[in-house]
Amino acid sequence: MIIAVDGPSGSGKSSTARGVATRLGLRYLDTGAMYRAVTWAVLDSGIDLGDATAVAEIARNLDLTIATDPSAPTFAANGTDVTLLIREPRISENVSKIATNLDVRADLVRRQQDLIAAAQPGGGIVVEGRDIATVVAPEAELKVLLTADPEARMARRQAELAEGAVTAAELRDQIVRRDADDSTVAQFQVASDGAVEIDSTFMTLEQVVEAICQLAKEAADAVPQDQES
């Protein structure tokens, strides 16, 4: 089974998708972290983020190693473990410049599809991001659009960061501006065909995980027996 979880920044996609993958015994892929890893590599190289051609070249040549175990989802870029480095504020401030590069998106979508295909023999994968249901895995058996109001999203993102890491204004800019930027290249504000929208504003993480797991069970039960075989 492929479970696609899309949604805006701070809606709880990562925690939810990991929880669902753990509960169902599936692999887990955070596609947003892939864009962050490319951002780290570009910043590390010292090139201008506005040089779209040079940025795309770095993305194409990047040795990106991804562990899809939900208990330890790690990322390495050119041999450097960047799992924690890609969560730094400087990455959050610049990742939209990378994510809106269409050549970078094309390369990472190809990589994401390869990872999804590799997970299929093991039972499946939960993939979260911006355009999973529409571009990366439109064949997903379950598609979820996970939303929450802006205040809830900012509070959740703030809880993930070290105290004083960013100001309230910087945090709002990272979330609201990034959503606006990313919406120019990915449709994640409105549920795609066949997707179930879940507003998590007043739900706990456990409630959201449970809701998606129930939807996954219903989706699996709906698969014809001959297709399963």
206's tokens: 């456990």
- Find tokens 């219903």 and name the residue: 218
Judge whether 16 and 26 are in contact, CB under 8 Å: no
DSSP of 108-157, one letter per residue?
HHHHHHHHHHHHGGGT-EEEEESSIIIII-TT-SEEEEEE--HHHHHHHH
Is position 9 annotated in a ligand binding site? yes
Strands 80-81 and 75-77: antiparallel
Q: Check whether 129 is labelled as a binding-site residue.
A: no
Beta bridge partners of 76: 65, 81
Q: Is 11 annotated as a binding residue?
A: yes
Contacts of 43 (CB under 8 A, 6+ apart): 49, 90, 91, 94
183 is in an annotated binding site: no
With CA atoms as reference, report the closest residue to 62 among 98, 13, 18. 98
199: tokens are 């507003």
DSSP labels for 27-60?
EEEEHHHHHHHHHHHHHHHT--TT-HHHHHHHHH
Provide the token pair at 213. 């797991």
SS3 state of residue 139: coil
Known binder of ligand: residue 32?
no
Residue set of the binding site: 7-15
Residue set of the binding site for ATP: 7-15
